[in-house]
Structure 1
Amino acid sequence: MTLGVGLVVLAAALLHAVWNALVKGAADKAVVLGLISLGHVVPGLLVVAAVPLPPIETVPFIVASTVIHWGYYYLLNSAYKVGDFSLVYPIARGLAPVLIALGSQIWIGETLPLLAWVGILTVSGGIMILAGGVFDGTLSPIAIVTAVGVAISVTAYSLVDGVGIRISGNPLGYIGWLFVAEIFVAIYIFCTRFERLRAVSMRTVVMGFAGGAISGLAYALVLYAKTLAPLGIISALRETSVIFAALIGVIWFREGPANKRLVAAIVVVIGIGIIAMVG
């Protein structure tokens, strides 16, 4: 993996933490998630108008990813209702790199060298340091279950899209139609919560839509990187977003002590260094 690809994924990690913080800080998280989905659709339309269609073989992957993202948004909304941002987010994102690396090895035969596994496990371990509420009773069982559900959904859509974009031969076309398909998520959320949508402020609408644009850019960068490097390695680097999220949790939401976050950041940086040595 080149330095350029690594920097692209780290930039995506920062953007990912920002949009998750926007969801956590929203009064009506479900409506904001609908706005975020809509924020994917608009740039998606611009992309599909400018690039060729992806091959028909990618349609099942786009459909599957859209359905999985639907479940992901539901679980994410549920998790943020019952747990602190800086505790739920590390569980969800800390488990994902290991699950994705295992899934990519089983599904597509993407075998990683031992050093890569050491780096991935180090990054995941550093992330899980932030999830101390799992062990000391701070986080409720339902919050833990929903956070694990988020991790499983992240693993599922990451594998589906990682394979789909590779066989497409047209990354921009795949990304564009994947984002356009999120119109179904937005329609469902808005039609079932129309009165709540009318009640939100214009500031919330702008914040949600902007969060969608940020989220879309973050995921597009990650998908592009997945065409250039193993899925497990890219996913581990992407989940460094948790360190950014932990800092946001401390500074923005006034959550928890800073010392644990510093230790976790150091461990994650060590893991990134090990991954960088894989080459």
Structure 2
Amino acid sequence: MLVIGVVLGAAVLHATWNAMAHGAPDRVAGLALFELAAGVIGLVGVLVMGLPPASTWGFVIASALLHLAYLAGLLASYQLGQFSQVYPLARGTSPWVVAVVSIVVLHQKLAVIELLGVLLISAGLIGLVFIGRPGRGQAPALLAAFGTGLMIAAYTVVDGVAVHKMPVATYMGWVFMLQGFAFPLAVIWWRGPRVFNLPRGAVLSGLAGGVVSMAAYGLVLWAQTRGTLAAVAALRETSIIFGAVIGTLFFGERFGPKRALAASVVVAGIILITTG
């Protein structure tokens, strides 16, 4: 139950920082500030924890690169589509992909009831996307969100293996330091240093979002050392339910009975995983 509580707490934090990123006046600069804050915290972790085992560098570099690809996809998704639509598709794609990889490639055992829970969560989350009957004009946003979901699944699998080979704090420190400094530098190269000429409130919000993001990520990494990869990945993506509520409350995006039904399917999946 502790692992479930931790992952659900991480889901709340994850939805919060994604909503902060979507609501930033300049989403590119906001996301860069998120990463900069995480990079600084990661640097502190690196100085305290030291080098990872030599055999694990591949995991660190792969995760950092996949996270950068994920951030690029996330940014494209938020630029092209509505938060309550692209966020569920990006996050809903990940659990079933992770489940397939963890069973087929990593040979992790997943109880039938847990597998049903994963599938229910994925179905409910993806259902949130299509409630609004997206048209052809939304295809670029949906493709960007789907690609983002594949990147989430990829770094989830890499992270899930890596945390069993080195201390979580060491892994977090190096991954966040690498991606946290690389992303702002890429933004400066793209948009110039004036991209950060923002109001003080926007800067503080961006830096705070980075702290929230890192906290959510750290909780999930810890949970991956205690539970099956597919179950943890599915539970983490319940952040979409919190994201849908945030979209309704703060962005004026309608929730409605159909979204409530999709959310109920997700809750049913959570119950199955909890009892599995």
**Range class of TM-score, shorter chain:** over 0.9
1:209 aligns with 2:207: yes
Aligned residue in 2 for 1:165: 163
Aligned residue in 2 for 1:179: 176
Q: Check conservation: 1:75, 1:149, Cα contact below 8 A.
A: yes
CA distance in 2, matches of 1:192, 1:118: 44
Deviates more, 1:119-128 or 1:51-60: 51-60
Deviations 1:124-173 (A, max 9, x none): 111122112574428611111101001100011111111111112x1111
Aligned residue in 2 for 1:81: 79
- Map 1:103-118 → 2, pairs under 5 A: 103-118=101-116
1:93 aligns with 2:80: no
Deviates more, 1:49-58 or 1:61-70: 49-58
Deviates more, 1:22-31 or 1:9-18: 22-31
Identity of aligned residues (%): 38
Pair 1:137–1:43, CA change in 2 (3 A): same
TM-score (norm 1): 0.94
Where 2:251 maps in the other structure, the secondary structure is coil
TM-score (norm 2): 0.95
CA distance in 1, matches of 2:71, 2:12: 19
The CA RMSD over aligned residues, in Å, is: 1.6
Letter in 2 for 1:216: M
Letter in 1 for 2:121: V
Q: Check conservation: 1:13, 1:239, Cα contact below 8 A.
A: yes
Q: Check conservation: 1:31, 1:196, Cα contact below 8 A.
A: no
Give 1:41 deviation, angstroms. Answer: 1.3
Residue segments in structure 2 that go unaligned for 5+ positions in a row:
none
Give 1:208 deviation, angstroms. Answer: 1.0
Aligned residue in 2 for 1:137: 135
Q: Which runs of 4+ in 1 moved over 6 A?
A: none
Where 1:200 maps in the other structure, the secondary structure is coil
Q: Check conservation: 2:41, 2:173, Cα contact below 8 A.
A: yes
